[in-house]
Amino acid sequence: MLRGLSIQPRSFPLHSPFRISRGVKTAADVVTVELAQGDCIGRGESVPYARYGESVAAVIAEVESLRDDLCAGMGRDELQARLGPGAARNALDAALWDLESRLMRVSVSSRLAQAPHRPLVTALTVVIDTPQAMEKAAAGIADAGLIKIKVDADDPVARIEAVRRGAPAARLIVDPNESWTIDLLRETQDALVRLKVDLLEQPLPSDADDALRGFTSRIPICADEACHTSSDLSALVGRYQAINIKLDKTGGLTEAWRLLRAAKAQGFEIMVGCMVCSSLGIAPALEIAREAEFIDLDGPLWLASDYPDGVTLQGGMLMPPSPGFWGG
């Protein structure tokens, strides 16, 4: 039986504006959930996303609506049935995983039969700006093993070329965030190959991606907004070659793990991503990241101030949080 549930909004200012095709973010607005049982506290964090009709207030209300059931002992399995995928379920799912592991004194990694955490190569993001500014930003992280380039439909090739000049050796992901058309996708194929782009993430709007059926891309295309849970996979076959698993889309690690296993079985490459969030939002995603071909978990690196025992970037590698930060 829980002895307490705490739900708090929190805003983390960013050190620089985060610009993508649909807008600019200057702070990470999150919802933090804490579940207390005995002397143990489990924590979770989620990022309500307007693209999916979410807000901080609505997510808090969703979590609050389950207070009595949670305090009566509702677990993760029932949570999957009571809440749909999204930020509210993610925050609660993460807090339940954390609490369970602390009560059991068995780490989440061990429960998933995973090895201890190790440093990982994460994508570092270059946001939309002038080509000159993007080249300068890329030069500043040229030693990164993987760079993600945010673009829109306004001369994306010039921006990708600028980043490639700044970082000649890095692997590249290009992310238009649903801003392209199928014609623009066709027009950019030669440039994407010439600039050695490894992955193209969600170029078309998710409700217009039927145009991808029958289109043979020279660069693997990754579903982001088009893929939330394992139930989406069948519709992605023949359109995408990879999927981006984000816990705020799946509604937590429980469904993310199910999606990972199902996607691998169907031959999709795996990318694990995040919203701009703190290390508390990243920690559960690290359980998926071990099995991903592409890792994009630099959200906390955009914060002016993160949890002091959270993830850090050292020598181009994402270092895991301190022991005991989340998940036992």
pLDDT in tens, 54-79: 999 999 999 999 999 998 999 999 99
Q: Are residues 308 and 163 in the same domain?
A: yes
- Average pLDDT for 220-249: 98
pLDDT in tens, 104-116: 999 999 999 998 8
CATH number where 307 lies: 3.20.20.120
Q: Are residues 97 and 128 in the same domain?
A: no
Residue 62 placed within a domain: yes
Which of 106, 135, 153 is a domain's end point? 106
Which of 106, 141, 164 is a domain's end point? 106
From the list 148, 246, 249, 264, the catalytic residue is: 246
Percent of the chain at pLDDT > 70 equals 100
Please report how the helices 156-166 and 131-140 are oriented relative to each other, as an axis angle in degrees rounded to 10: 30
- How many angstroms separate the CA atoms of 192 and 188, rounded? 6
Going by pLDDT thresholds of 50, 70 and 90, the confidence category of residue 34 is very high
Please state, rounded to an integer, the average pLDDT across all residues of the chain: 97
Going by pLDDT thresholds of 50, 70 and 90, the confidence category of residue 316 is confident
Q: What's the structural domain count of the chain?
A: 2
Nearest to 172 by CA among 226, 206, 115, 125: 125
Q: Are residues 59 and 199 in the same domain?
A: no
Q: Are residues 87 and 136 in the same domain?
A: no
Would you say residue 51 has pLDDT above 80?
yes
148 is catalytic: no
Q: Are residues 95 and 67 in the same domain?
A: yes
Would you say residue 1 has pLDDT above 80?
no
Which of 56, 74, 106 is a domain's end point? 106
The contacts of residue 76 (CB under 8 Å, 6+ apart) are: 93, 96, 97, 100, 252, 254
148 phi/psi in degrees, rounded to 5: -105, 130
Alpha carbon 228 to chain centroid distance? 11
Would you say residue 328 has pLDDT above 90?
no
Q: Are residues 76 and 162 in the same domain?
A: no
Going by pLDDT thresholds of 50, 70 and 90, the confidence category of residue 315 is confident
Nearest to 253 by CA among 10, 46, 52, 33: 46
- Full residue range of the structural domain in which residue 301 is found: 124-319
Return the half-sphere exposure (C-beta side, CA atoms, 13 A cut-off) of residue 210. Answer: 2
Residue 117 placed within a domain: no
Residue 2: per-residue pLDDT:
74
Residue 118 placed within a domain: no
The answer to whether 33 touches 59, Cβ cutoff 8 Å, is no
249 is catalytic: no
- Average pLDDT for 246-253: 98
CATH number where 50 lies: 3.30.390.10
Q: Are residues 96 and 37 in the same domain?
A: yes
Nearest to 287 by CA among 146, 119, 117, 124: 117
From the list 25, 136, 148, 150, the catalytic residue is: 150
pLDDT in tens, 128-156: 999 999 999 999 999 999 999 999 999 99
Q: Are residues 67 and 216 in the same domain?
A: no
Residue 72 placed within a domain: yes
Q: Are residues 86 and 187 in the same domain?
A: no
Would you say residue 23 has pLDDT above 80?
yes
> What is the number of other CB atoms lying within 10 angstroms of the CB of residue 238?
12
